[in-house]
Amino acid sequence: MTEKKPTPLLDNLEAGPWPSFVKELKKSAKSPMVQDLLGVLERSYEDKMGHWKHGGLVGVRGYGGGVIGRYNELAREFPDAAEFHTVRINQPAGWFYTSDVIRTLCDIWERHGSGLTNFHGATGDIIFLGARTSEIEAVFGELIEAGFDLGGSGSCLRTPSCCCGMARCEWACYDTMALTYDLTQTFQDELHRPSFPYKFKIKSSGCPNDCVAAIARADLSIIGTWRDDIQVDRTAVTQYAAGGQIDIAADVVARCPAGCMTWDGRSIGIDNESCVRCMHCINAMPKALAPGKDRGATVLVGGKATILGGALLSSVLVPFLRMEPPYDDLKELIRAIWDLWGDHGKNRERVGEFIQRIGLGNFLEQIGLDPQPEMVAQPRTNPYISYEPKEGRP
Amino acid sequence: MTEKKPTPLLDNLEAGPWPSFVKELKKSAKSPMVQDLLGVLERSYEDKMGHWKHGGLVGVRGYGGGVIGRYNELAREFPDAAEFHTVRINQPAGWFYTSDVIRTLCDIWERHGSGLTNFHGATGDIIFLGARTSEIEAVFGELIEAGFDLGGSGSCLRTPSCCCGMARCEWACYDTMALTYDLTQTFQDELHRPSFPYKFKIKSSGCPNDCVAAIARADLSIIGTWRDDIQVDRTAVTQYAAGGQIDIAADVVARCPAGCMTWDGRSIGIDNESCVRCMHCINAMPKALAPGKDRGATVLVGGKATILGGALLSSVLVPFLRMEPPYDDLKELIRAIWDLWGDHGKNRERVGEFIQRIGLGNFLEQIGLDPQPEMVAQPRTNPYISYEPKEGRP
Amino acid sequence: MCPAPAKRKTDIGAPHYDKFLPPIIKRNYGNWRHHELPRPGVVVHVAESGDKLYSVRAGSPRLLSIETLRLFAAIADEFSDGYLRFTSRNNVEFLLADPAKVDPLIARLKQEGYPVGGTGASITNIVHTQGWVHCNSAASDASGVVKSVMDELLPYFESMTLPARLRIAFACCLNMCGAVHCSDISILGMHRRPPKINHATLAKNCEIPTTIASCPTGAVRPATVDGKPSLEIIEEQCVLCGNCCAVCPSMSLNDPGDGISIWVGGKVSNARREPMFSKLAIPYLPNNPPRWPEVVSAVKNLVEVYAAHARRFERMGEWIERIGWPRFFKLTGIEFTKHHIDDFRHAGESFKRSVHLRRPPA
Amino acid sequence: MCPAPAKRKTDIGAPHYDKFLPPIIKRNYGNWRHHELPRPGVVVHVAESGDKLYSVRAGSPRLLSIETLRLFAAIADEFSDGYLRFTSRNNVEFLLADPAKVDPLIARLKQEGYPVGGTGASITNIVHTQGWVHCNSAASDASGVVKSVMDELLPYFESMTLPARLRIAFACCLNMCGAVHCSDISILGMHRRPPKINHATLAKNCEIPTTIASCPTGAVRPATVDGKPSLEIIEEQCVLCGNCCAVCPSMSLNDPGDGISIWVGGKVSNARREPMFSKLAIPYLPNNPPRWPEVVSAVKNLVEVYAAHARRFERMGEWIERIGWPRFFKLTGIEFTKHHIDDFRHAGESFKRSVHLRRPPA
Ligand code: SRM
Ligand code: SRM
Ligand code: SRM
Ligand code: SRM
Ligand code: SF4
Ligand code: SF4
Ligand code: SF4
Ligand code: SF4
Ligand code: SF4
Ligand code: SF4
Ligand code: SF4
Ligand code: SF4
């Protein structure tokens, strides 16, 4: 460990009401790794530039993913931060813990790493931040003993994640946590051994509120919905009207995106044929309205951030799928996607980009789904129809 | 002329209540050209295929555009339809005529062509359909004598066209016909001598109803609008409310795209700050509402049909421009666009595609306009900002 | 020195419209107050001055013989002091100052076979193109299809009972001469086989590099045929745009298997909804001259379903947006296929990127 | 024969969540009736059975030392029978069956420095990424910016008085680890100079053809530097995406001129408006550690203008759509520049293709 250097810029961030990450670093600074990390970071604050190097290959025997190698440019000055690898760990579905299991994880990480964590990474993993190469196998061994396993990285499936769903939420249209646990266990091999053209993420939300932001960042988004009519508790509607906390006409009816609600001052009318199942009215009046009883999920595909062709929101693949264990239909669909994309996807081409390249129509044909109008916002506007050669014969 | 052949398929189209083009052909069939045209067309109806060949170079001395060469594949069988060129003629702005001038045009065309016309072509020209190469100069000479001149074709400016505007319509926010006449006269050279990378079309509508469909098919669309408040005649509103022919709440207020109208059963409220000047409420209640008094036009650029990169609607270039003769600002803008596109446009690249290729921001910079938020539906969503090199220096 | 040649008269442009305006228009130019639609085909414009102009609109096939033009001129002389005009959709209009002449004029027009209508919430004239009558590129006949469709839809031309105006356009190839890409209903000629090449003439009349460069998908490749330089088409890559045929006279898309596609829900006006493109409804119907029965009944079905379900002032596209595309396909009985899903440049922009679904299918 | 080696234990996945659920959740799993938000940071879920679950939410910096994790565990032991969870936005939640413990728990959390809030119409935790703390690609520091912004916005975390919930996200480079592209306010680290190349190491550690192929705009070209094979960047073509740096360890975008851009109006939920991307508000603000005052005040301004003008339940993007972008720029005082106009692949889709303009500028 290098001697403790002053960190005046960082110290400034200990003040203020929001919990301070600098305090967190200092709490862990008995670890020489973190002490040097403070030095590296202070330097970045001074020269307004990062000092980490491109990742190297670091990992666990038999696994291709789960550890991100991270080395520092200032290794000479801060040798204890020279290696600062990340270990990604499958979180329990819904991010529920007991104090005991938290302590178990802390103990492992105290023995073998910096003591710094992320609860959680943006994908949803438990993140241990700052391991030396030499400690990786030990961390892994102890995690396995404690019942935990590594998450994904590189061209792997990433740990599926989900909202807390039925554990706590009245709107969950299917059991997001049961599904996420099942998928995580079923696809361990794909999670640990890179076999795809690029990363693949699965996220599950229990209803269209999408509290896990699946639609924006998952290659496969499973979002709960219903087919039948919204459940209405007329007594509760009256209470809302009387309560005055909400202006039913202005805040609910006028904001319905389908324009399918009516309100005559006493009772609410919903044209359920036109309702687009957006959740707004239910959100606004949770005691009076609830999703229907004929429940399942919409499966969407292809969400991702900007790199490389621009960001994509997930798009509808299966308008409605009933979500019951063992989820065979869903798993079959996932495997069909992986097979096709695995065979024909280019290196670093996310599945959403792949679909755009080969055409959604062709993609559907290959994975064996029928085209449905629910899959598009609108049919094509350009006339470059690719008739099959046989169609062109008179 | 070949002998008159039977045309049973075409004859079928003489029946029925809509005026028949076959009757028109037959009315002109004293011309041997049209007699053979009937034969050619009947053949197309038999074998379900066109029989015209790719155009050839036909024209008038000193002009590069205005005549479309057209030859027939079945020349051996139908020699009088072997050459069947089109003459495009600048229409008077607004397509107003007297019976005399119509007769003058008919006489010219009887002397020198097939006697078939289009009133009008899709761009707006008067079309003489079916001239032999040998007659072209004579047609031109007589047209000029009658005060008419050729329209555009090829990589020319095309004859500007416009709605009838102030001649007959209460909503015209500027004088479309005066402008169109002026532009047609000002840009005679560009109309007649191909000097652009591809065609260029200008269309002018007096208000956002856009009765000349400019936004969909003009490289430069000039669409009337206003800045101040919609004029409301309260008495007439009351009459509409009483008349019962229109349901003000459902048909007007609820259909306002800006959601900026109110109706309490007696008087109409308009939040003119939010009004998007769509015309709907005015259209629905023409006696009660009218565009404001501070009038001018929005200038849009880049509309076109499908070929090649897909269709484009015109997009806002100048949010508001006062439209008064001699229209110097507008002409300067047009010339700036032509200069830039002329220098840097690719062959067969419409100006809308050119702008997309070089970037609207760069385009504005080059023609000397400031970026304004009215030009976009929304700011960029992708983060690939092209900072200027100087901006990248700390 | 020879005398300078008499300068050739050119570049005179269009005659000034002023010459052709009736006195009532000159008097009230820019000073109109409002208008009324007293009956189909008649628009009355009331000026600030109190003057009233009666415009009577009649359907025209657009492809006009000079005989018919002379007839229109004669009718104008008789009823409207010789003043007439054509509309942006190729109807003919007679401009009357005298209301007493309106009914006789209408009677006369009908008697001559020119229906009066096309105003307000009607189906007006179909904007269209050349077709087999005159264009080398045509995948169908414009005039024949338009005539067949309008014969069937005439009642909608002669009345104003639709939810809103309904605009139909026809184009005979993807060049789409007209606003076919933005119409309530678009009828579009479609080629379906890649260009055929006349190898015998190609080397003579065709610039090979330009033609290769013209293809947006790189489907045109150089080739040697019978020892002569020529071109070949990679069929799977061809999107049938016709651009190569536009630059090379030895290539043509014309084929007896050509036909027609139907598009819906476009609009141009800014009224209510912003302008929008037409969307694919039916990818292919056969060319079946002289009456194109499949096309006629497809269009009629669309009009009838729309008329039965849309609300007042709701254009075709606005109605479909309200009910959603799945329901549109159900109500019209049209099959949704792979072809309906865009696969060109911005295809991804048309995918459904939300779970806003009306009653999802089971 | 050697004995088979003891099989290594692998691929066990995640522990079953069941082990970590409090009894009240197990009892009522899937049978919740509704919820209430009695005060900021507390969500009460009422089960069909009548049971009530109290979730108390506290802000967390996400970058946690094991000391803090142990503190949370101890607090859970004291107040919630040892049960706790983390949210999808990295807040920590304690799950109580006993309402009497809610107030003491809140007091304790505040005393330890963890504010309670983030529920309902509030600003909850900022989702963020690694920044200079750990990532090679970072154009700014995640934790420092988040801390600076949240110090300022704390009142909005601890109350529920905004028109709707407002979500802020931070990412330190265009990879956008998080839902930064769909947030009400996004703070995004921006590199501004094309990659710098370490020519000395490139030949050793970098696959030249892969790196060339990685560039979406073809800006990476082969070059020979000091006699060794290397690469060069055509600066004008570079869109600063960083993809080449992701595949080649000898290239880096890091530069003291890096900074931050601000984006607005994205959302993820399907409530009312469909999900949408964030749009550019401010193209560049400098990295000014440790407190990034320019960024803090820009974000605060956005929040305040939104809070003052939006209607109830109107997310940032919905509000802007209602008032229009021109007014957004006017109200916030942000300058509209060339950079705001898209110029990437689908740029044309963002142009204003109608005359639907609110009071046009003079
Ligand atoms: C740790 C984490 C950020 C965090 O602070 O939480 C992270 C960190 C990195 N991400 Fe990420 N990504 C993380 C979630 C995401 C997300 C969000 C998500 O998964 O929900 C995204 C956006 C969604 C998406 O996948 O599109 C994301 C989009 C990327 C991308 C761009 C991918 C794309 O196709 O657009 C890259 C670039 C790459 O893979 O080369 C990337 C690459 C990286 C790398 C590996 C940078 C690199 O090239 O070496 C970062 C390692 C940082 C380090 O050394 O600590 N990361 N990355 C997140 C993973 C934690 C976890 O496992 O729970
Ligand atoms: C005559 C006319 C159709 C009609 O029946 O009215 C017409 C006829 C032709 N058009 Fe057109 N276009 C006509 C208006 C249009 C319009 C509508 C308009 O101008 O408002 C369009 C769509 C708007 C636009 O410009 O985008 C149009 C888009 C095209 C295109 C595609 C251009 C594009 O950039 O998308 C081509 C292809 C080309 O130029 O090679 C084309 C090419 C042609 C050619 C010259 C075909 C060719 O390649 O040789 C046609 C000659 C037909 C013939 O022999 O009679 N025509 N063309 C119209 C001109 C009459 C006039 O001058 O008044
Ligand atoms: C005569 C003509 C202009 C011209 O210079 O030739 C014209 C004339 C009038 N139009 Fe138009 N429009 C004319 C083509 C158009 C077009 C262009 C087109 O169809 O190609 C449009 C855009 C169509 C589109 O959106 O696809 C058009 C969209 C309108 C609208 C907006 C309708 C809407 O709700 O979308 C109005 C307003 C209304 O009627 O409520 C309008 C209103 C009018 C008024 C009432 C304006 C006025 O006060 O004089 C005129 C009589 C309308 C009628 O027929 O009921 N006019 N009008 C054109 C007649 C074409 C024809 O023969 O049928
Ligand atoms: C705990 C959490 C799920 C989890 O498994 O961790 C959660 C829980 C709830 N969400 Fe959520 N949401 C959570 C992240 C999200 C996200 C994802 C995100 O922000 O990254 C979204 C999408 C945000 C977006 O659109 O950008 C989200 C959009 C909603 C909405 C829709 C709001 C809207 O009008 O757009 C609701 C409905 C409502 O509250 O009216 C909702 C409602 C709820 C309810 C009321 C559901 C319920 O009955 O239990 C929960 C308490 C809400 C509260 O905090 O007021 N939740 N919620 C997440 C808490 C994050 C945090 O710490 O602050
Ligand atoms: S996504 Fe729906 S089911 Fe899941 S926590 Fe959010 S509101 Fe509840
Ligand atoms: S769920 Fe949404 S679309 Fe359906 S009725 Fe409620 S607010 Fe309207
Ligand atoms: S565009 Fe406007 S001004 Fe011109 S005719 Fe149509 S309604 Fe009248
Ligand atoms: S013009 Fe259009 S936007 Fe303006 S008030 Fe009338 S209906 Fe509303
Ligand atoms: S649409 Fe095509 S076929 Fe028809 S006239 Fe235009 S270019 Fe010719
Ligand atoms: S028709 Fe179009 S896509 Fe096909 S070969 Fe010709 S240019 Fe290429
Ligand atoms: S956003 Fe970029 S810099 Fe930040 S963690 Fe992700 S990859 Fe690294
Ligand atoms: S940063 Fe992106 S655009 Fe620039 S050179 Fe690298 S790969 Fe190409």
Q: Is residue A151 part of a domain?
A: no
Residue D267 CB less than 6 A away from ligand 4: yes
Beta strand segments in C277-336, E: 279-286
CATH number of the domain that A364 lies in? 3.30.413.10
Tokens 């060049």, located at residue: C175
- Pocket test residue of A21, A85, A95, A123 for ligand 1, highest count of atoms within 8 A of CB: A123
Q: Is residue A94 part of a domain?
A: yes
- Structural domains in chain B (count): 3
pLDDT one digit per residue (tens) for chain B, 394 residues: 557 889 999 999 999 999 999 999 999 999 999 999 999 999 999 999 999 998 778 999 999 999 999 999 999 999 999 999 999 999 999 999 999 999 999 999 999 999 999 999 999 999 999 999 999 999 999 999 999 999 999 999 999 999 999 999 999 999 999 999 999 999 999 999 999 999 999 999 999 999 999 999 999 999 999 999 999 999 999 999 999 899 999 999 999 999 999 999 999 999 999 999 999 999 999 999 999 999 999 999 999 999 988 999 999 999 999 999 999 999 999 999 999 999 999 999 999 999 999 999 999 999 999 999 999 999 999 999 989 877 865 5
DSSP B201-237: -EEEESSTT-TT-HHHH-SEEEEEEESSPPEE-HHHH
B213 touches chain D (CB under 8 A): no
Low-confidence residues of chain D, pLDDT below 50? 1
Taking CA–CA distances from C326, the nearest residue in chain A reads A373
Q: Is residue B158 part of a domain?
A: no
Last residue of one domain, picked from the residues B110, B145, B180:
B145
C344 touches chain A (CB under 8 A): yes
In this complex, the residue of B48, B311, B382 whose CB is nearest that of residue A306 is B382
**Per-10-residue mean pLDDT for chain C, 362 residues long?**
72 98 98 97 98 98 98 98 98 98 98 98 98 97 98 98 98 92 98 94 92 93 92 93 93 96 98 98 98 98 98 98 97 98 94 95 82
Q: Is residue A382 part of a domain?
A: no
Q: Is residue B362 part of a domain?
A: yes
Q: DSSP state, A297?
A: E
CA distance D211 to D243: 8
Quote the pLDDT of residue B393. 58
Q: Which two tokens stand for residue D310?
A: 């939006």
B393 touches chain A (CB under 8 A): no
Q: pTM for the whole thing? A: 0.96
Return the SS3 of B10: helix
Q: Is-contact C248 C206, C-beta < 8 A?
A: yes
In this complex, the residue of D270, D275, D354 whose CB is nearest that of residue C274 is D354
Q: Which two tokens stand for residue C137?
A: 């590129």
Q: pLDDT tens-digit profile of B17-53?
A: 999 999 999 999 999 999 999 999 999 999 999 999 9
Let me know whether A258 and A126 are in one domain. no
Residues with CB under 6 A from ligand 3: B 163-164, 168-171, 209-211, 213, 283; C 35, 37, 43, 87-89, 91, 118-120, 124-125, 127, 164-165, 167, 179, 267-269, 271, 315
CA atoms within 13 A on the CB side of D308: 9
CATH number of the domain that A115 lies in? 3.30.70.2500
Q: pLDDT tens-digit profile of C18-61?
A: 999 999 999 999 999 999 999 999 999 999 999 999 999 999 99
Q: pLDDT tens-digit profile of A269-314?
A: 999 999 999 999 999 999 999 999 999 999 999 999 999 889 999 9
Quote the pLDDT of residue C143. 98
DSSP D315-332: -HHHHHHHH-HHHHHHHH
Beta strand segments in chain D, E: 32-39, 42-47, 52-58, 63-65, 83-86, 92-96, 168-171, 185-190, 196-197, 220-225, 228-233, 251-252, 259-264, 279-286
Let me know whether B196 and B101 are in one domain. no
Q: Is residue A384 part of a domain?
A: no
Let me know whether A304 and A334 are in one domain. yes
Quote the pLDDT of residue A393. 58
Let me know whether B345 and B241 are in one domain. no
Range of the domain at B261: 231-290
DSSP D244-261: HHHH-TTEE---TT-EEE
Let me know whether A137 and A31 are in one domain. yes
Let me know whether B235 and B365 are in one domain. no
In the reported structure, the alpha carbon of residue B393 is separated from the centroid of ligand 9 by a whole-number distance in angstroms of 53
Q: Is residue B184 part of a domain?
A: yes
Residues of D within 8 A of A307 (CB-CB) are 174-176, 241-243, 246
Let me know whether A179 and A257 are in one domain. no
Quote the pLDDT of residue D361. 87
Q: Is-contact A326 A182, C-beta < 8 A?
A: yes
B10 touches chain C (CB under 8 A): yes
Quote the pLDDT of residue C231. 96
pLDDT for residue A55 is more than 90: no
Task: Give me chain A's average pLDDT, please.
Answer: 96
Let me know whether B112 and B33 are in one domain. yes
Q: pLDDT tens-digit profile of B96-125?
A: 999 999 999 999 999 999 999 999 999 999
Residues 286-315, chain B, touching A (beta carbon < 8 A): 306, 310-311
Residues of C within 8 A of B23 (CB-CB) are 113
Let me know whether B276 and B311 are in one domain. no
Phi-psi map region of D30: left, alpha, beta (phi>0 left; psi -120 to 50 alpha): left
Let me know whether B191 and B89 are in one domain. no
Beta strand pairing call for B220-226 and B202-205: parallel
Quote the pLDDT of residue A4. 83
Q: Which of B36, B64, B28, B32 is nearest to B52 (CA)?
A: B36
Let me know whether B357 and B259 are in one domain. no
Quote the pLDDT of residue B394. 52
CA distance B5 to chain C (A): 17
Q: Is residue B152 part of a domain?
A: no
Last residue of one domain, picked from the residues B145, B180, B206:
B145
CA distance D107 to B386: 50
Let me know whether B80 and B127 are in one domain. yes
Q: How confident is the model at residue A48 (pLDDT cuts 50, 70, 90)?
A: very high
